[in-house]
Amino acid sequence: MEDRELCYSIIYDCAEKGAFSNLSLNQKGVDDFVRAAVYGTLTYVYAEDHIINKSAGKDVSSLDPKVRTILRFGVWQLFFSDKVPDYAAVNTSVELAKKYAGRASGMVNAVLRKIALIPKEQRDLTNDKSPEAAFSLKPEIYGLIKKSYGKERAPSIARALLKPSPLAIRVNTLKTDKPTLASELELEGFEVSLSSLSEDALIIRPSGDSPSIENSIAYKNGDFMVQGEGAQMASIIASPSEGMRMLDCCAAPGGKSTHLAQLTNNKADITALDINASRVKLIDDNARRLGITSITAKVADSVTYKDVEGFDLILCDAPCSGLGLIGSKPDIRLTITYDRIEQIRQKQRLILDNMAGMVKDGGVLVYSTCTINKAENEDQVTWFTEEHKEFITESQRTFFPDQDGCEGFFVARLRRNNG
């Protein structure tokens, strides 16, 4: 029961107290089952609630938070895991209820036993008409995807977001190369494959004998940066050159800043901003680990930051809803709302508006997000070029989890006309 008690504790903290799952799971002794159970339960939380509502005869929101957590965890084991027998899912959930929810153990037992009676062939919810059941998404969030891509395309995208993106790293070509790094990681127990998107990326699959990727010898030696394939495309599309003066205006933890440095052989002048001092330290720490000296990290607000000299290239990886990441960061699925996205869109516009005046004539502005919501992506580019007619859009592309096999990500490249 120790593993299940740990699962219950982490799920409860994330769903009821707003804790971050990735930080909670970075504990010693967290095994594959705990990791899968936490991510799985949080990913399928709206589908679990849909099932519980139908079986319990009352809305999940009216239940005691401890009972709610135990039922969600139990339903995940019954419906979405093929590793746990039904009887074990029910019995261990009842034991958790006895310990943490007292008198409610009888209700937990009754609800889960009723759910366990549902035939296996009826447990596939992928064609359910409710987006909560089919894709574990709030209707308002699924509505954004459907509005962006249409009712025919939206299900494929939403379904792909139920699965975590592959773990990608970016080879630090200032220190090593792909074949050498791949061999070193394989010796540490990792399965390594090539990326189909980014030239400098490797896809990592940990094994039972391997350490976490950030505890590997190669990581400590600065041979790579953990960075999604989609995120790597932002710096590649930016296409920086040696000697450029560049700004990464929303830079922490430094993935794109260090990539820009790498692509320019550590021979550029890069300013990296973040509003939070502790996150600026992450930029410095990563640059130091990677052996990069061309980055100056500063605490600054990208909405108000000014530089009179101007930049050849500005990379604006703006704050966003993070909808492209929810397969790997299920916490976003729980907390994001339409109203919150509207607030974020206003922040994006403030940042873009401020950055426009610091791009040199003939210079480039790259706008990127880790969302698939067109209102935060293409619509913002359209707004920007209408407000700032000196800019033209050279390219824009969305990377999709179902088509490209990576996190959802958007990159637009704009150029400021001379004169």
**pLDDT tens for residues 82-110?**
889 999 999 999 999 999 998 899 999 99
The Cβ of residue 378 has, within 10 Å, a number of other Cβ atoms equal to: 16
For the entire predicted model, the pTM comes to: 0.94
pLDDT tens per residue, range 146-197: 999 999 999 999 999 999 999 999 999 999 999 999 999 999 999 999 999 9
Residue 359 has phi, psi (to 5 degrees) of -85, 125
Q: What angle do CA 283, 286, 291 make, to 5 degrees?
A: 120
Whether residue 46 lies inside any domain: the answer is: yes
Please indicate, yes or no, whether residues 395 and 259 belong to a single structural domain of this protein.
yes
Whether residue 152 lies inside any domain: the answer is: no
Domain that holds residue 205: 167-226
Please indicate, yes or no, whether residues 239 and 302 belong to a single structural domain of this protein.
yes
Whole-angstrom distance, CA of residue 312 vs CA of residue 45: 45
Amino acid at 89: A
Sign of CA dihedral 241, 382, 345, 361: positive
Whether residue 95 lies inside any domain: the answer is: yes
Please indicate, yes or no, whether residues 107 and 25 belong to a single structural domain of this protein.
yes
User: How far does Cα 207 stand from its chain's mean position?
Assistant: 22
Q: What is the CATH number of the domain that holds 121?
A: 1.10.940.10
The answer to whether residue 349 scores a pLDDT higher than 90 is yes
Whether residue 159 lies inside any domain: the answer is: no
Please indicate, yes or no, whether residues 130 and 195 belong to a single structural domain of this protein.
no
Please indicate, yes or no, whether residues 129 and 199 belong to a single structural domain of this protein.
no
Whether residue 161 lies inside any domain: the answer is: no
Q: Is 393 in a helix, a strand, or coil?
A: strand
Whole-angstrom distance, CA of residue 190 vs CA of residue 207: 6
Whole-angstrom distance, CA of residue 204 vs CA of residue 226: 10
Q: What is the CATH number of the domain that holds 187?
A: 3.30.70.1170
Question: Which pLDDT does position 209 carry in this prediction?
Answer: 64
Question: Which pLDDT does position 29 carry in this prediction?
Answer: 60
Please indicate, yes or no, whether residues 29 and 43 belong to a single structural domain of this protein.
yes
Q: At what angle do helices 2-17 and 32-43 cross, to 10 degrees?
A: 30
Please indicate, yes or no, whether residues 182 and 325 belong to a single structural domain of this protein.
no
- What lies within 8 Å, CB to CB, of 183 at 6+ separation is none
Q: What angle do CA 48, 101, 61 make, to 5 degrees?
A: 40
pLDDT tens per residue, range 359-394: 999 999 999 999 999 999 999 999 999 999 999 999
Question: Which pLDDT does position 84 carry in this prediction?
Answer: 93
Whether residue 162 lies inside any domain: the answer is: no
Q: At what angle do helices 65-75 and 2-17 cross, to 10 degrees?
A: 120
Is the CB of residue 299 less than 8 Å from the CB of residue 348? no
State the residue for tokens 């150029």.
Answer: 415
Please indicate, yes or no, whether residues 7 and 48 belong to a single structural domain of this protein.
yes
Please indicate, yes or no, whether residues 107 and 214 belong to a single structural domain of this protein.
no
The answer to whether residue 207 scores a pLDDT higher than 90 is no
Please indicate, yes or no, whether residues 288 and 308 belong to a single structural domain of this protein.
yes
The answer to whether residue 26 scores a pLDDT higher than 80 is no
Please indicate, yes or no, whether residues 358 and 318 belong to a single structural domain of this protein.
yes
Whole-angstrom distance, CA of residue 151 vs CA of residue 397: 20
Whole-angstrom distance, CA of residue 156 vs CA of residue 140: 17
Whether residue 234 lies inside any domain: the answer is: yes
- Computed over every residue of the chain, the mean pLDDT equals 95
What number is the average pLDDT over the span 213-239? 97
Whether residue 379 lies inside any domain: the answer is: yes
The answer to whether residue 61 scores a pLDDT higher than 70 is yes
The answer to whether residue 23 scores a pLDDT higher than 90 is no
Structure tokens at 375: 């209102």
**Number of domains into which the chain is organized:** 3
The answer to whether residue 210 scores a pLDDT higher than 90 is no
Q: Give the residue from 182, 206, 226 where a domain finishes.
A: 226
Please indicate, yes or no, whether residues 189 and 317 belong to a single structural domain of this protein.
no
DSSP one-letter code for 366? E
